Chain A
Amino acid sequence: DTAVSQTPKYLVTQMGNDKSIKCEQNLGHDTMYWYKQDSKKFLKIMFSYNNKELIINETVPNRFSPKSPDKAHLNLHINSLELGDSAVYFCASSQLDRPNGYTFGSGTRLTVV
C-alpha cells in the first residue's frame, strides 16, 4: 500500500518531446507538491497545490505545468523537453492543518537525450 506513488520510475526521452509524470496519494492529504532534485542533489520545490490554491515557484519554466484531476492526483506535464530538465522529480503530499511533515514518492528519474 504505497502512500505516494509515482509513475514512471524511469523516463528517457528526446529533446523537444512532451511528457507527463503521474502522482497519486492514498493518504487523504489535501496538498500535493512537486520537487526537482538536480545532479547536485539539491531539492527544489516546483509547485504546491491544494483544491484552493496553486503556488508556482517563479523559477520554474512555464513548460512545466501541474494538472490535478482530483485531490488524490497531481500530475506533472512537461512540454518541449530540454537537456537541463534531466533530474529526479519527486511528488509529495501533506495535510496542511496537521504538521506531520511530507510523505514523498520514490521519484521519477527523467533523462533527456
Chain B
Amino acid sequence: DAKTTQPPSMDCAEGRAANLPCNHSTISGNEYVYWYRQIHSQGPQYIIHGLKNNETNEMASLIITEDRKSSTLILPHATLRDTAVYYCIVTGNTGGFKTIFGAGTRLFVKA
C-alpha cells in the first residue's frame, strides 16, 4: 500500500502556479520524498526529490514541512503540457522494491 495521500484531482489555470499537496505522516528518517508524473500513457517521468530541505530544479519546486509529514510540489507557471497524473512517493534512498505508486493526483491545466 502507498504510504502517501494525495487529492484525486486538481485544476489549474494556464500560467498560474500549480500546488500539489501530499501527506506522508508515517515517513521515517531515512526516507526521501519523490515526485513523478505520467502524461497520458507514457512512462512515468521523474520530477524532483528531497529529504528535509526544500528543493528546486528546472521543472518544479518541492516544499517539505519541518516535521516532514507533508510536502507540496509547485509547478511555478503551469502549461497545458503539464496536464498529467502526479505521483508522490516516499521511499528509502535505495528506492527499489519499496517504491510504491499510489493513485496520484490528476492535474488538469486549463487555458
Number of A-B pairs whose CB atoms are under 8 Å? 60
A48 partner residues in chain B, CB cutoff 8 A: 96-97
Complex CA distance for A103 and B43, rounded to whole angstroms: 9
Chain B, residues 77-106, CB within 8 Å of chain A (1/0): the string is: 000000001010000011111011111000
Contact residues of A: prevailing secondary structure? strand
Query: Smallest distance from the beta carbon of B46 to chain A beta carbons, Å?
Result: 4
Q: Which of A31, A57, A90, A109 contacts B44 (CB 8 A)?
A: A90
Contact residues of B: prevailing secondary structure? loop
A13 partner residues in chain B, CB cutoff 8 A: none
Residues of B in contact, count (CB < 8 Å): 22
Chain B, residues 36-59, CB within 8 Å of chain A (1/0): the string is: 100001111110010000000000
Q: Are B49 and A99 touching (Cβ within 8 A)?
A: yes
Q: Are B95 and A99 touching (Cβ within 8 A)?
A: yes
Q: Are A107 and B41 touching (Cβ within 8 A)?
A: yes
Chain A, residues 85-105, CB within 8 Å of chain B (1/0): the string is: 000101010101101111111
Query: Smallest distance from the beta carbon of B31 to chain A beta carbons, Å?
Result: 10
Chain B, residue nearest A40 (CB): B103
Q: Are B42 and A106 touching (Cβ within 8 A)?
A: yes
Complex CA distance for A5 and B46, rounded to whole angstroms: 16
A44 partner residues in chain B, CB cutoff 8 A: 101
Chain A contact residues, CB within 8 Å of chain B: 4, 31, 33, 35, 41-45, 48, 55, 57, 88, 90, 92, 94, 96-97, 99-107, 109
11 pairs, A vs B, C-beta closer than 8 Å: A41-B85, A42-B101, A42-B103, A43-B87, A48-B97, A57-B97, A90-B43, A94-B95, A99-B93, A99-B95, A102-B36
Query: Closest 5 interchain pairs by CB?
Result: A104-B43, A101-B46, A43-B101, A99-B93, A48-B97
